[in-house]
């Protein structure tokens, strides 16, 4: 998070005026605040299908949960990602005064993140990378996905910086 905050300061072309301990504290606070929505979105992503089957089998036997889940899951995941990115952009810059200044970049980054995750997931499912790389393929895939995600987060910050420049 500390490096993410430094990257956002570079995008806005402003020096970091915080001291060492203040920067460490702010990075830790940002990590703790954004961990809950990101972890919840990850849990929904991993356990979404078993949770849906359990809900239909146990709680709502006659309700159309399958149809509602198709709408609920993407909305919940995108809302949690939007919340996490908004908090990151707002807390990373102490000069930021309004949430409305960071929402456009967070929205754009969330939509890009959703498209990139879908495209990368499609690519990983279709390409026989396991033949060439074996067990190392999962590590390579994770590193590529993390790189793509970091670029998207910085693109959202750059979007906000350009909007601020136009104001």
What pLDDT is recorded for position 159? Answer: 93
Q: Are 6 and 16 in contact (CB under 8 A)?
A: yes
18-32, 39-53, 128-142: the lowest-pLDDT one? 39-53
Find the mean pLDDT for residues 12-41: 81
Neighbours of 11 (CB within 10 A): 20
φ, ψ (nearest 5 deg) of residue 156: -65, -40
Q: Is the pLDDT of residue 156 over 90?
A: yes
3-state secondary structure of 150: helix
φ, ψ (nearest 5 deg) of residue 51: -65, -40
Task: Give the pLDDT confidence of 94-107 residue by residue, as tens digits.
Answer: 777 788 889 999 99
What pLDDT is recorded for position 106? Answer: 93
Sequence-distant (6+) residues with CB within 8 A of 90 are 96, 99, 102
What pLDDT is recorded for position 152? Answer: 94
Handedness of CA 20, 90, 111, 80 (dihedral sign): positive
Find the mean pLDDT for residues 2-16: 80
Distance, CA of 132 to CA of 123 (rounded, Å): 15
Whole-model pTM?
0.76
Distance, CA of 80 to CA of 65 (rounded, Å): 21
What pLDDT is recorded for position 111? Answer: 92
Find the mean pLDDT for residues 20-45: 80
Task: Give the pLDDT confidence of 38-95 residue by residue, as tens digits.
Answer: 788 767 766 767 777 777 777 666 666 666 666 777 788 888 889 888 988 888 887 7
């Amino acid at each position: 998070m500390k490096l993410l905050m430094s990257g956002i300061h570079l995008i806005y072309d402003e020096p970091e005026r915080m001291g060492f301990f203040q920067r460490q504290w702010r990075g830790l606070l940002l990590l703790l605040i954004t961990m809950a929505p990101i972890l919840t979105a990850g849990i929904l992503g991993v356990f979404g299908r078993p949770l849906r089957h359990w809900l239909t089998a146990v709680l709502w036997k006659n309700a159309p949960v399958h149809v509602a889940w198709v709408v609920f899951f993407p909305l919940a995941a995108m809302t949690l990602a939007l919340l996490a990115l908004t908090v990151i952009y707002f807390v990373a810059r102490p000069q930021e005064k309004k949430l409305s200044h960071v929402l456009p970049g967070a929205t754009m980054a969330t939509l890009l993140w959703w498209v990139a995750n879908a495209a990368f997931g499609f690519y990983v499912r279709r390409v026989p990378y396991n033949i060439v790389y074996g067990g190392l393929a999962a590590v390579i895939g994770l590193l590529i996905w993390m790189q793509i995600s970091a670029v998207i987060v910085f693109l959202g910050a750059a979007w906000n910086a350009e909007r601020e420049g136009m104001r």
